[in-house]
Amino acid sequence: MRNFVLGIAGAVTMLTLAMMPAAGQTYRAPRAPDGHPDLNGIWQAINTAEWDLEAHAAQQSLVVEAGTLLAEPGGLSVVDGGAIPYLPQAAAKKKSNYENRLTLDPVVKCYLPGVPRATYMPYPFQIFQSDKYLAIAYEFDSAFRNIYLKDPGPAPVDSWMGQSYGRWEGDTLVVDVTGLDERTWFDRAGDYHSDSLHVVERYTPVAPDVLNYEATIEDPKVFSRTWKISMPLYKHVEKNAQLVEFKCVEFVEELMYGKFRKK
């Protein structure tokens, strides 16, 4: 009996080891026709980075009458090293932004969120990929990014979603983003940037239906050094997955223009 039990245990151990990837082995994602990983699909971040990139405790809503409905959830930092490296004078502005976030956050007014914020808002987004075309559509305010696969040169003007140039480094899609409007924020906590912002995103398949997302932030006018955020993105696998409409303009008309109503 003892030998039988040991034999069963050994067989289970061997089966478990066979199912595990070998040391150093990396995940190989399904391929698109051009041989690159197939990133097509609807993806979403599941974290609280939209409220604050850094670690933060839960707190009551700024709209007291909403009770728990709009309470802010707590969460861990997605910033490598934990803290954003602000220059001293920039840190003071970030503090002011936070204290006045109910009126200053551009997303409150339904402005486009910019990059990288659009990635981790609590709304899904869809990647469209072919051998000649890459684009990302976001549910929030129907934001959209065309990702050039040939270097288009300097961005001719700044825009809310910037100019994106994508290239492949092995199985990683690297997207260089420039020309971002300085009015966008990184989160609801008032983290901000200047007109010198440069973002480099990296999308890497790490498991079935999971991407690792990284964004390296460079802005010498606001930060003492470059810094990086990272998080997993999860694919929607339900058979009827689709982006639904979230046109927020109508939700802010009263907020922005109600004061102009005729008496």
Q: How many CB atoms lie within 10 A of CB 213?
A: 19
65-106 pLDDT per residue, tens: 888 998 999 999 999 999 999 999 999 999 999 999 999 999
Tokens of 151: 């270097």
Maximum distance among all Cα pairs of the chain, rounded to whole angstroms = 92
For residue 229, is pLDDT > 60?
yes
pLDDT of residue 86: 98
Place of tokens 């999860």: 234
147-172 pLDDT per residue, tens: 999 999 999 999 999 999 999 999 99
Least reliable range by pLDDT among 26-30, 36-40, 144-148:
26-30
For residue 7, is pLDDT > 70?
no
pLDDT of residue 258: 85
Q: What's the Cα-to-Cα distance from 61 to each of 25, 111, 129, 250, rounded to whole Å?
A: 46, 21, 39, 22
Percent of the chain with pLDDT over 70: 90
Those residues with Cβ within 8 angstroms of residue 92's Cβ, 6 or more apart along the chain or in another chain: none
- At 144, the amino acid letter reads F
- 53 within 8 A of 229, measured Cβ to Cβ: yes
| CA distance between the termini of the chain | 92
For residue 23, is pLDDT > 60?
no
For residue 257, is pLDDT > 90?
no
For residue 5, is pLDDT > 90?
no
More confident residue, 196 or 255: 196
For residue 175, is pLDDT > 70?
yes
Least reliable range by pLDDT among 44-48, 137-141, 252-256:
252-256
Contacts 24+ apart (CB under 8 A), 54-61: 54/79, 54/82, 54/83, 54/84, 54/189, 54/191, 55/82, 56/189
Mean pLDDT of 176-188: 98
Least reliable range by pLDDT among 21-30, 100-109, 124-133, 213-222:
21-30
Per-residue b or e along 222-250, where b marks 16 or more CB atoms closer than 10 Å to that residue's CB: bbeeebebebebebbeeeeeebeeeeeee
The Cα angle at residue 155 between residues 153 and 159, in degrees rounded to 5: 155
- 180 within 8 A of 222, measured Cβ to Cβ: no
Calculate the average pLDDT of the chain.
91
Helix (H, G, I), strand (E, B) or coil at 30: coil
In this structure, what is the dihedral angle of CA atoms 44, 50, 52, 55, given to the nearest 10 degrees? -20
For residue 64, is pLDDT > 90?
no
Tokens of 158: 């700044």
For residue 25, is pLDDT > 80?
no
More confident residue, 121 or 21: 121
Place of tokens 């939700």: 251
Place of tokens 């001293």: 88
DSSP notation for 176-222: EEE-B-TT-BSSTT--B--TT-EEEEEEEEEETTEEEEEEEEE-TTT
In this structure, what is the dihedral angle of CA atoms 62, 65, 69, 72, given to the nearest 10 degrees? 20
Mean pLDDT of 1-12: 48
